Amino acid sequence: MLPGAFDQGRSPDQAEFGTGVPAARTVTPDGDVILLVSGESAAARAAAYAQDDDLTAVIEITDVAPVSVAHRIRGRAWLAGWLTQVRGDDRAACAALLAERRPVGELLGLYGRPSYVMLRLEVGEISVDDLWGAEHVDPEELAAAEPDPMVDHETELLQHLAAAHRDRIADLCALLGPRESAGTTAVPLALDRLGLRVRFTGGGSSFDARFDFPAPVRDVCELRRAMHTLFAAAGR
């Protein structure tokens, strides 16, 4: 998390504020980001010191592929806005939201020793640079977004596909038309409700290909059927 002079449309003048992963995080229906962090963290101390003054900050999120592949970073996102400590009546509501979406034992520390505190980032600007390209995202889109149903399963599923079905993943190259596939290795790189992204490597170069499912999947059972459809199409 980085502080700095924040202004719409330009990058903050940033200095190191704190690194690491919060114990839990979630997004409110209004699009605010709620973070559960150690009370001894630099972010918690700065927010407590600022009281009601504006404290500008940027959250940097790095998405790393959970499989062994070159250039594993799939994307980065920057959420810039104003950071405050959650206080008063809001604490119970935010704690309930965190417990519902990301249950963690650290929430118990909120009402005993002040070992963990909740911070709120009121988001004003979002930038994303990922496998699909770089763009700005409207904070209202963050508020309206729903978690992808595959998000809690993606790591396990990609690792399983890479370990047990890499030959069948490589066969998907046949769906790409007249490409040279001899000697090509394939690693499943990303998975969501809409499809599978695979990185093909061979002949000293690599490329990514996206394989869309016939319809968005809602659970692992539908995903299994969608994958069987892809494999069957590649084997024709």
pLDDT tens digits along 214-229: 999 999 999 999 999 9
pLDDT exceeds cutoff 60 at 5: no
More confident residue, 211 or 49: 211
- In the numeric block, the tokens 């394939």 are attached to 186
Task: Report residue 8's pLDDT band, with 50, 70 and 90 as the boundaries.
Answer: very low
In tens, the pLDDT along 157-167 reads 999 999 999 99
For the ranges 49-53, 87-91, 204-208, the lowest mean pLDDT is seen at: 49-53
Read off the pTM: 0.79
Counting every residue written for the chain, the total comes to 236
pLDDT exceeds cutoff 90 at 49: no
If you average pLDDT over residues 5-30, what whole number do you get?
58
DSSP 125-168: EEEEEETTEEEEE-HHHHHH----TTTTTHHHHHHHHHHH-HHH
Q: Quick one: pLDDT at residue 100?
A: 82
Per-residue DSSP letter, 32: P
